[in-house]
Amino acid sequence: MVAEVEVPAGFVPQYAVAFGAVDGPAVAVQADNPLPVHAVRRPAQSAPLAGTIVSSAIVGPFVPELDRPIWLSLSGQWQGQVDFLRSADGGATMLPLTIAGERWGRFVGGTNEAVADESEAGATYYLAVTLLGGALTYRVAQ
């Protein structure tokens, strides 16, 4: 049952959230009557980590914005592997991504995919690049 507040009442004391037309009744917000809005998300404020590398190195850190997917793009003519690493202590310890205890986030060719979604403030990401030849162009961004 939906209780309505009739005009001319200008407020709805018994409901925390309600809405209605200027000349119509206020109706409670509920599953069958949601607010007529949609979330607007601003562009991510995190600075992308991007460049081209021709020798093995650790690249980073990438400091993500919370609750957004992190995208990794690898391209170019290169041979070797790239491990996507996460740190929760400012880079002192960098750990590989895993799923059910198995290593994940190791790439041996071009890619363009979401690799993580961070929820812990202060976490940072790195690329451990082991190049056997060529030049790798990388980009970590949100």
Query: CATH number for the domain including 56?
Result: 2.60.120
Give residues with Cβ within 8 angstroms of 35, minimum separation 6. Answer: 17, 19, 29
Question: Rg of the Cα trace of the chain?
Answer: 24
Q: What is the pLDDT of residue 118?
A: 96
Same domain, 32 and 66: no
Same domain, 76 and 26: no
- Between 59 and 35, whose confidence is greater? 59
Q: What is the pLDDT of residue 1?
A: 56
- Between 123 and 18, whose confidence is greater? 123
- Between 58 and 9, whose confidence is greater? 58
- DSSP 8-class letter at 131: E
> Does the N-terminal peptide bond of residue 61 adopt cis geometry, omega within 30 degrees of 0?
yes
- Cα-based distances in Å from 42 to 39, 67, 95, 121: 10, 13, 30, 19
Work out how many domains the chain is built from and give that number: 2
Q: What is the pLDDT of residue 18?
A: 65
Same domain, 107 and 73: yes
Same domain, 55 and 6: no
Mean pLDDT of 30-53: 87
* Domain span including residue 117: 49-141
Q: Calculate ∠ Cα 47-139-129, nearest 5°.
A: 120
Same domain, 36 and 75: no
pLDDT digits (tens, 9 = 90+) for 58-84: 999 999 999 999 999 999 999 999 999
Query: 15 pLDDT band (50/70/90 cuts)?
Result: very low
Residue 9 has pLDDT above 70, yes or no: no
Q: What is the pLDDT of residue 17?
A: 65
- Between 7 and 36, whose confidence is greater? 36
Same domain, 73 and 11: no
Same domain, 28 and 64: no
Q: What is the pLDDT of residue 32?
A: 80
Same domain, 31 and 70: no
- Between 3 and 49, whose confidence is greater? 49
